[in-house]
Amino acid sequence: MDAPLSSWPWENFGVFKYVFYGPIVGKVLYEMMNQEEDSKLNLSWWCLNLIILCVLRISLHVVWSSYSNMLFLTRDRKILQQGVDFNQIDKEWNWDNFIILQTLVASIVCYIFPFLQHLPIWNVKGLIVALILHVGVSEPLYYWFHKKFHGDYLFKNYHSLHHSSPVPTPLTAGNASFMEHIILMMVIGIPIFGTSMMGYGSTSLVYGYVLIFDYLRCLGHCNVEIVPHKWFEAFPFLKYVLYTPTYHNLHRTNKDTNFCLFMPLFDALGNTLNTKSWTLHKTLSSGSGNEARVPDFVFLAHMVDISSAMHVPFVLRSTSSLPYTTRLFFIPCLPFTFIVVMVMWLRSKTFLLSFYNLRDRLHQTWVVPRCGFQYFLPFATNGINKLIEQSILRADKMGVKVISLAALNKNESLNGGGKLFVDKHPNLRVRVVHGNTLTAAVILNEIPQGVNEVFLTGATSKLGRAIALYLCQKKVRVLMLTISTDRFLKIQKEAPLEYQSYLVQITKYQAAQNCKTWIVGKWITPREQSWAPKGTHFHQFVVPPILSFRRDCTYGELAAMRLPEDVEGLGCCEYTMERGVVHACHAGGVVHSLEGWRHHEVGAIDVKRIDLVWEAALKHGLKPVTTCPHNKTD
């Protein structure tokens, strides 16, 4: 049984917890429409202020979270180098509970004490009184309570939740038990209520104090050292007035020190100040404390479309931790996102998006700042290839062992599956991998046993060719959709003579109207899908995936594999993939790295290596993600 007041009253409400805002919003709307007497209008005015303050507080935390996830800006000043994984994200999902609590209590207090409804906009004396109350009451009170919460019983039953997050983030600041936030609410309320009781309260004081309080809490938990040490060298007393992210991080690693709210003065007075606080801060604030760790593997990704460009940790950590889908609140942001994408087209370079660790190897995802549609603009191809080339050369200079190219970054018409760069730079130490061998293996192993005929679009592409040559040697008849007889014959001649008859050229979709296994490597319209018979399963290696138009058919996801269970620090989903699942081209690079293979994997796929790569992937703990209903088991 949980300790008293350790759990939140609305813990199991899910999104319905926001219903608690309903009476406050309703009060404002009702009185605005009915224009009741002034006394009641004052209450509705304060209800409106509470709603605005809620929005500002949530926005403040989200902006701080976004900043801390901008690895291209913060990686050199990160204090803890671990990644935030899915478990921590789930644990902190309801980080905003404290805002609901404080809003409800504030609305009740405003109703009980009517003088709070008549506060002026501004009062200078109130700022001074609030500062005195904060330093003289709130800071020592918080210090005392915080220290008590590190006692055995209180820590185990209450405070351990806050410390359970391995990597502090701005949202960790709100992740605590109900009891702790009742006390924190008292700490934050004393300067505001006390100043108002003395007759010096003001609306600006409420806004200012609450937002500064939240700002400093986010600062301490952001895991990025942004406070310059030069401030402390120029004004030594600031060491005891303002804490830093490093200072608070030391409290999380050494739980018997650095208990203060914002002012280290109280740790100094209580003899709990960590002696490493200033030296470590000086090291980290200069950026020299974190020796840049060279990634072992880099996945070079790209944006798919404007909407999915928002599916990144530095926009919203919560949505990026779930498979991508179009969300209603994304729609109003599309115009702004489009402008950002256009600006990135003009000025941005490849940037670091995310990372995780696998068996003491650092794996990073870099992003070429280009959307899918830009890859098909003839005048944009040179610029895209230049960005990819620069990324490969940068990885080579850093000492990266393997760099894997995402779908459009290895497009045959763009750079021949990466062959352009390997031929141009024959002395590359980094191994360039397109990952198509494992992609082909995933698709081939999804096809149910006993299938004797498949229909293949994109049949003369790198993947199409490999799939056709592999299947024909398994005595599977492959209907290859292509209007180019020359390209078909070239592929057919690569097959052993006794299997060439299994490769059949067709030029119309109608020819596949009796085939229930479609392998889609080229985008097909709903009209073209209509030729598939009922019960067809569409396997896919086309980006973006085709529309799920047929309700009497099933649609596979893009070829993918689940990373091994010992992956660490993975906290964002790759496009529409489930948690822990990555595209096969990503997984192919991972396998290449884990195996220590020293060859490039560019250009045409070596069909003979498909089974070898598949077995290597399974050996290292990568698991296939079955999307074909015929392959699923109970």
Task: Assess contact for 168 and 248: CB atoms under 8 A.
Answer: yes
User: What gap in Å lies between CA 84 and CA 619, rounded to an integer?
Assistant: 27
Q: How would you label 201-210 residue by residue, b for 16+ Cβ within 10 Å and e otherwise?
A: bbebbbeebb
Non-local (6+) Cβ contacts of 442 within 8 A are: 559, 560, 561, 584, 587, 614, 624
Non-local (6+) Cβ contacts of 36 within 8 A are: none
Q: What is the pTM of this model?
A: 0.92
Tokens encoding 186: 């008292």
Quick one: pLDDT at residue 634?
Answer: 37
Q: Which domains does the chain have, with CATH numbers?
A: 11-286 (no CATH), 297-433 (no CATH), 449-586+607-633 (3.40.50)
User: What gap in Å lies between CA 172 and CA 71, rounded to an integer?
Assistant: 18
Pairing mode of beta strands 453-457, 477-481: parallel
Exposed, middle or buried: residue 263 (CB in 10 Å: 0-12, 13-18, 19+)?
A: buried
Exposed, middle or buried: residue 283 (CB in 10 Å: 0-12, 13-18, 19+)?
A: middle
Quick one: pLDDT at residue 39?
Answer: 46
What are φ and ψ of residue 498, in 5° steps? -75, -10
Non-local (6+) Cβ contacts of 327 within 8 A are: 319
Quick one: pLDDT at residue 628?
Answer: 64
Quick one: pLDDT at residue 597?
Answer: 95
Quick one: pLDDT at residue 347?
Answer: 87
Quick one: pLDDT at residue 290?
Answer: 59
Residue ranges of the chain with pLDDT lower than 50?
38-41, 633-634
At 518-546, the pLDDT tens digits run: 999 998 999 999 999 999 999 998 877 88
Quick one: pLDDT at residue 492?
Answer: 96
